């Protein structure tokens, strides 16, 4: 079963039941919908499904809710929430970090497992005691460095991608462009 932040989804995809959830926008990143996933309809769907484990793509209040049931929880914050939030509010004040870590700790402590996309994020979560060290695991899910290795560099492809100007700077990006990408550094 997949509970998604998109309403009006298909009923099933590759054998998995899809359940759409109402969503809201994060103020500084409005193109990514968020959901509490706690409506009575969703709670009933999940109870009927009786999962062995719930994986939440971001730590949310629903992790706390489901920890009251006999169901394991895994959270996978797919972004560096600390750095991203501080960049959005343009601050790295210790009080902001303390506020952030205490709120995240409340959510992460309910999880049985926290999957992180980088060793740096794991270190931050441990440093600020957001999650217990024995519950944090690295989940390498980003670019396939075997398939996209520099050994596959091709001068012909660079000529093609740069419109015949291979000596000019070339940036190839796949994915959303948001504040967290820190692309302002390229202007300098």
Q: What is the pLDDT of residue 45?
A: 92
11 Cβ contact list (under 8 Å, min separation 6): 17, 18
Q: Determine the structural domain holding residue 91 and report its residue range.
A: 51-143
Is residue 135 domain-resident? yes
Q: What is the pLDDT of residue 94?
A: 53
CA-angle at 84, arms to 80 and 88, nearest 5°: 170
Separation CA 62–CA 139 (nearest Å): 21
Are the C-beta atoms of residues 136 and 114 closer than 8 Å to each other? yes
Number of domains in the chain: 1
Give the mean pLDDT of 107-128. Answer: 82
Are the C-beta atoms of residues 78 and 58 closer than 8 Å to each other? yes
Helix (H, G, I), strand (E, B), or coil: what is residue 34? strand
Instruction: Enter the tokens of residue 75.
Output: 């959270």
Give the mean pLDDT of 178-188. Answer: 66
Is residue 104 domain-resident? yes
Is residue 42 domain-resident? no
Q: What is the pLDDT of residue 164?
A: 96
Q: Which residue has the tokens 């740096």?
A: 120
Are the C-beta atoms of residues 125 and 109 closer than 8 Å to each other? no
Is residue 163 domain-resident? no
Are the C-beta atoms of residues 137 and 116 closer than 8 Å to each other? yes
Instruction: Enter the tokens of residue 144.
Output: 């396939």
Is residue 123 domain-resident? yes
Q: What is the pLDDT of residue 9?
A: 87
Is residue 129 domain-resident? yes
Is residue 26 domain-resident? no
Is residue 119 domain-resident? yes
pLDDT digit string, tens, across residues 129-157: 878 889 999 887 666 677 778 888 899 99
**What is the torsion angle, in degrees rounded to the nearest 10, for the CA atoms of residue 103, residue 28, residue 58 and residue 20?**
130
Q: What is the pLDDT of residue 141?
A: 64
Helix (H, G, I), strand (E, B), or coil: what is residue 76? coil
Is-above-0.85 flag for pTM? Answer: no
């Amino acid at each position: 079963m997949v509970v998604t932040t998109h309403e009006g989804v298909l009923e099933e995809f590759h054998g998995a039941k899809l359940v759409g959830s109402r969503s809201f926008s994060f103020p500084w990143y409005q193109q990514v919908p968020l959901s509490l996933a706690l409506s009575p309809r969703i709670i009933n769907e999940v109870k009927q499904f009786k999962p062995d484990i719930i994986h939440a793509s971001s730590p949310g209040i629903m992790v706390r809710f489901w920890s009251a049931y006999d169901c394991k929880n895994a959270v996978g914050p797919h972004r560096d929430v600390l750095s991203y939030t501080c960049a959005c509010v343009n601050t790295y004040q210790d009080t902001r970090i303390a506020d952030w870590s205490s709120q995240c700790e409340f959510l992460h402590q309910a999880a049985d497992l926290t999957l992180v996309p980088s060793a740096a994020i794991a270190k931050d979560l441990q440093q600020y005691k957001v999650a217990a060290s024995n519950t944090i695991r690295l989940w390498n899910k980003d670019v396939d460095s075997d398939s996209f290795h520099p050994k596959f560099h091709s001068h012909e492809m660079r000529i093609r991608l740069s419109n015949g100007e291979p000596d000019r700077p070339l940036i190839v990006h796949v994915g959303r462009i948001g504040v967290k990408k820190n692309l302002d550094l390229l202007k300098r």
